């Protein structure tokens, strides 16, 4: 089974900051890497799919990169609505697996 490891587990930042979250797969997953945003009490929303493709309706300040085993999610200029928990997920093979999450908090 493929293990997904995110870092950091939590992150404090200010509105307007640029932040980067990393995700590492335990084996190569090509570009089958997706990023989700989850706010408290809500279902996750898809942000980025296939490592770097922006889901329709997602602001362009979100971007993704990487392939193989190492991936990043970058938010270029944090907005108040971006404070949430972010998860990476591999869809290369079942059992599909998620990272443990990165909680982005306001500094």
Partner 1 sequence: EVQLVESGGGLVQPGGSLRLSCAASGFTFSNYWMHWVRQAPGKGLVWVSRLNNDGGSTSYSDSVKGRFTISRDNAKNMLYLQMSSLRVEDTAVYYCARDRGYSSPLDSWGQGTLVSVSS
Binding site for partner 1 (CB under 8 A): 1, 32, 34, 36, 38, 42-46, 49-50, 55, 87, 89, 91-92, 94-101
Q: CB 16 → partner 1: shortest distance, Å?
A: 28
Q: CB 73 → partner 1: shortest distance, Å?
A: 14
Torsions phi, psi of 53, nearest 5? -90, 130
Nearer to partner 1, 69 or 91 (CB): 91
Three-class SS of residue 82?
helix
Nearer to partner 1, 16 or 41 (CB): 41
Q: CB 94 → partner 1: shortest distance, Å?
A: 4
Q: CB 79 → partner 1: shortest distance, Å?
A: 22
Residue with tokens 């493709």: 53
Tell me: cis bond preceding 8? Omega within 30 of 0 counts.
Answer: yes
Nearer to partner 1, 16 or 95 (CB): 95
Q: How far, in Å, are 16, 17, 35, 71, 98 from residue 61 at the CA level?
A: 11, 11, 14, 17, 23
Are 38 and 45 spatial neighbours (Cβ–Cβ below 8 Å)? yes
Nearer to partner 1, 75 or 99 (CB): 99
């Amino acid at each position: 089974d493929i293990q997904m490891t995110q870092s950091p587990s939590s992150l404090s930042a200010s509105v307007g900051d640029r932040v980067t979250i990393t995700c590492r797969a335990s084996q190569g997953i090509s570009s089958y890497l997706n990023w989700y945003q989850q706010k408290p009490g809500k279902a996750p929303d898809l942000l980025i799919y296939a490592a770097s493709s922006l889901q329709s309706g997602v602001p362009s300040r979100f971007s993704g990169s990487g392939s193989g085993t190492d991936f990043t999610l970058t938010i270029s200029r944090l907005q108040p609505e971006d404070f949430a928990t972010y998860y990476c997920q591999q869809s290369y093979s079942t059992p599909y697996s998620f990272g443990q999450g990165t909680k982005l908090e306001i500094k």
